[in-house]
Structure 1
């Protein structure tokens, strides 16, 4: 049975570019990896600012949105966060979503497909790595930053990356699979 890779769209704002980048990566992962790739859009979960009365480590969720989110995260063996950079930091919706849970994240690797302007979202990626490690997620060093993301979106609205971005994405997927296999006994 293939390992499950959740490709998480990390922005929920109107007019976001994330779904275009994530749609490309989802197809790319299905063709270029051994994962069962699943596209996960944070906007579909409607997570308000954290509203559970009990600490997430207890896993005693009261709200339907939290239960659905917990099921999605628990089902994954690895993650790729498709993330923009807002004010040199991770998008608030993604920080909130990560903070909703605790045990569901543990011992799973994560890659970051970041995008933005000149930095390619690398500052957001670094802030996310710090948050993820506190939940026992293993953020891998390999990533796929996309500088000046708008140049890769055609008039038809489709994201078409450069060869170097695709090469970075392929390397990230290969490493994610290695880590997901290696961490599997710890998730047992």
Structure 2
């Protein structure tokens, strides 16, 4: 059975460097045989949160929200590609995730971070860990980080230089950790309905 993964990316900037890490992650999981969909918050274009998906009457949510809710519910696990903005999370990605709640429940998530500097988005990754846990996801302990991203990945998301080699070496453990939890959670959901 192929694992259904959603890879989320949230930069709205004109010159988006993090798209390189998103491509690297998508390519990496696809090479392992997983069914991966890329969700670009900028392309989805949800408005600043006013009403969550669950707050709409059934069948009355905007089409983009309805489609994304279905994709999230059908997924086995998630990867969040996060840049670091002033020691914090990207508002575009945070806004997208906040539109949903129960749709995230009982699935694992992994965090991949990046920045233009040497800390590679570590502070944003730390902030996301608590946020995703609060939203009902099991956040795996393995992470990957790219920074400085321009010296780690090419515009096509291919590893370059020593930093790229290090990222490439760390990906298998990151992927193995997420997929172990994906398989465990899928099996448990099949055995027993979640408690809420």
| 3-state SS of paired residue (1:56) | helix
2:7 corresponds to which residue?
7
Q: Cα distance, 1:55 vs. partner?
A: 7.0
Does 2:32 match 1:29?
Answer: no
Once the two structures are superposed, the pairs formed by residues 57-136 of structure 1 within 5 Å of their partners are 60=58, 62-116=61-115, 117-136=117-136
Q: Cα distance, 1:66 vs. partner?
A: 1.6
2:183 corresponds to which residue?
181
1:145-179 CA-to-partner distances (Å, cap 9, x unmatched) read 1121111344xx33332222112221111111110
Aligned residues: 184
What is the TM-score normalised by the length of structure 1? 0.88
Q: CA RMSD in A?
A: 2.0
| 3-state SS of paired residue (1:40) | strand
What is the TM-score normalised by the length of structure 2? 0.85
Q: Is the 8 A contact 1:108 1:137 kept in 2?
A: yes
Q: Is the 8 A contact 1:57 1:101 kept in 2?
A: no
| 3-state SS of paired residue (2:7) | strand
1:30-55 CA-to-partner distances (Å, cap 9, x unmatched) read 11x34212222112211111122x67
- Hey, which bits of structure 1, 4+ residues long, moved more than 3 A? 54-61
Following the alignment from structure 2 to structure 1, what is the Cα–Cα distance between the partners of residues 83 and 36? 20
1:171 corresponds to which residue?
173
Runs of 5+ unmatched residues, structure 1: none
Following the alignment from structure 2 to structure 1, what is the Cα–Cα distance between the partners of residues 170 and 10? 19
Runs of 5+ unmatched residues, structure 2: none
Q: Is the 8 A contact 1:10 1:41 kept in 2?
A: yes
Q: Is the 8 A contact 2:53 2:69 kept in 1?
A: no
1:147 corresponds to which residue?
147
